[in-house]
Amino acid sequence: MKALWIVYDIVLDETVAGLLDEFKVVGFTRWPRLAGRGPRSGARLDDHVWPGANAAVMTVQDDDLVAFHDIAPWAPVHFLLVPKAHIASMAQVLSLIHI
């Protein structure tokens, strides 16, 4: 399983989105505005004293599926697990998980 966590300056949003498309990353979670401080970058709190903000993207995948946070969750912790293989029907899913 591979996890990719990218934190970047929000001015690079389009560049990061283009790279995700280029590398065919189909499922990911994006946090549009993060505040924080790095060892060399100084504070980035997105206020009048320390302007600027970061964004972040996270995706987790293995050979069979991609997992990411739901952008409109119905529960406090809600992940979407998307299989990479084509699944023809819900009956196929139920037979795979032995319900």
| Contact call for residues 54 and 34 (beta carbons, < 8 A) | yes
What would the pLDDT profile of 56-78 be if each residue is shown by its tens digit? Answer: 888 888 888 888 777 666 777 67
How many structural domains comprise the chain? 1
Q: Which domain holds residue 80?
A: 2-97
Q: Give the ranges where the chain is alpha helix by DSSP (H).
A: 13-22, 90-97
pLDDT of res. 50: 59
Tokens of 68: 């990411």
What would the pLDDT profile of 3-51 be if each residue is shown by its tens digit? Answer: 778 878 788 888 888 888 888 887 888 888 776 666 666 666 666 555 5
